[in-house]
């Protein structure tokens, strides 16, 4: 089953669980993404309103989407709720779960071809991709979009894994729309510097056209975040750099300075 980087879920997290046992007062479950972690759903957390028979809502073997209420790290145990999960959260989690299952299958296929098992696959490649891109599927989708192993190599995945995973991703994943973020620092000491920077930001938004969406947000002087929503990574990367450069050119023409940052290191 798809795995997470952490050993335990966090409070408020939406998780996938399998119902193992149902009793009158609640249901005992295992958390699919966290091996060795058990959970409990009290009858009061099964549904809104009065629940006469809990078995009308949950059954042994059923997959459920739940929200983590509390976590006991020592016992590796979590209290969960079904009623606090919105319809939107449920749909998104199921979509994510199906994608991660698909991505894990590709990871398993790569492992078999390289003579490794799934545990080795996660240790040598999977966890690195999750750490870099948030999920296995997002990492493989990016490799499919860029038609090569570069995004996987960037995450520190060994070349043999990157090559094999990219090959499988290109064959099996149809890239969807993508969203990326980049940053631009803008300063202008001119008397009308604020107006110059405002005009520079408008230059960025002018690159929003057709199926490319562009959004600029203030982060903190002198930094602005540019978010691009595009059909594929190549288009997104191309447009974010063009837009940032247009803004930088504008402030430099008026005696200011600008700098583009594809990523920002935290800490």
Residues 209 and 244 in one domain: yes
pLDDT in the model for residue 146: 84
Q: What is the mean predicted confidence (pLDDT) over 112-118? A: 97
Dist. CA 114–CA 157, nearest whole Å: 14
Q: Strand 223-230 to strand 213-220: parallel, antiparallel, or no bridges (unpaired)?
A: antiparallel
| Alpha helices (H) in the chain, listed in sequence order | 87-113, 118-121, 127-133, 136-146, 150-154, 159-172, 193-205, 233-253
Residue 149 near residue 165, CB atoms below 8 Å: yes
- 237 backbone dihedrals φ, ψ, rounded to 5°: -65, -45
Interval 51-96: pLDDT, tens: 999 999 999 999 999 999 999 999 999 999 999 999 989 999 999 9
Dist. CA 195–CA 186, nearest whole Å: 12
State the pTM of this model. 0.66
Q: Which of 170, 190, 207 is the last residue of a domain?
A: 170
Interval 174-188: pLDDT, tens: 877 888 999 999 999
Q: Which of 170, 197, 213 is the last residue of a domain?
A: 170
Cα-to-chain-centroid distance, residue 245: 27
Residue range of the domain that includes 242: 176-259
Interval 15-30: pLDDT, tens: 999 999 999 999 999 9
State both tokens at 174.
């149809």
Q: Which of 67, 82, 97 is the last residue of a domain?
A: 82
186 bridge partner residues: 258
Mean pLDDT of the chain: 94
Residues 111 and 161 in one domain: yes
In a domain, 136, yes or no: yes
The number of folded domains in the chain is 3
pLDDT in the model for residue 267: 43
């Amino acid at each position: 089953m798809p795995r997470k980087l952490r050993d335990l879920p966090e409070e408020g997290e939406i998780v996938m669980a399998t119902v193992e046992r149902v009793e009158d007062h609640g249901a005992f479950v295992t958390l699919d993404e966290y091996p060795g972690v058990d959970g409990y759903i009290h009858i009061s957390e099964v549904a809104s309103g009065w629940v006469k028979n809990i078995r009308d809502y949950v059954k042994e073997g059923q997959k459920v989407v739940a929200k983590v209420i509390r976590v006991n790290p020592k016992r590796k145990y979590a209290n969960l709720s079904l009623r606090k999960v919105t319809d939107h959260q449920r749909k998104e989690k199921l979509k994510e779960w199906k994608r991660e299952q698909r991505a894990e299958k590709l990871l398993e296929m790569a492992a078999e071809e390289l003579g490794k098992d799934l545990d080795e696959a996660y240790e040598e490649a999977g966890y690195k991709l999750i750490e870099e891109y948030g999920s296995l599927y997002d990492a493989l989708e990016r490799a499919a979009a860029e038609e090569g192993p570069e995004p996987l190599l960037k995450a520190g995945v060994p070349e043999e894994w990157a090559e094999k995973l990219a090959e499988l991703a290109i064959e099996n994943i149809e890239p969807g729309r993508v969203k990326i973020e980049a940053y631009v620092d803008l300063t202008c000491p001119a008397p009308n510097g604020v107006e110059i920077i405002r005009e520079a930001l408008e230059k960025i938004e002018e690159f929003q056209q057709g199926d490319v969406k562009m959004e600029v947000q203030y982060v903190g002087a002198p930094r602005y975040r540019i978010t691009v929503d595009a059909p594929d990574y190549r288009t997104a990367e191309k447009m974010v750099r063009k837009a940032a450069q247009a803004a930088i050119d504008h402030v430099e023409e008026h005696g200011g300075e600008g700098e583009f940052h594809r990523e920002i290191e935290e800490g």
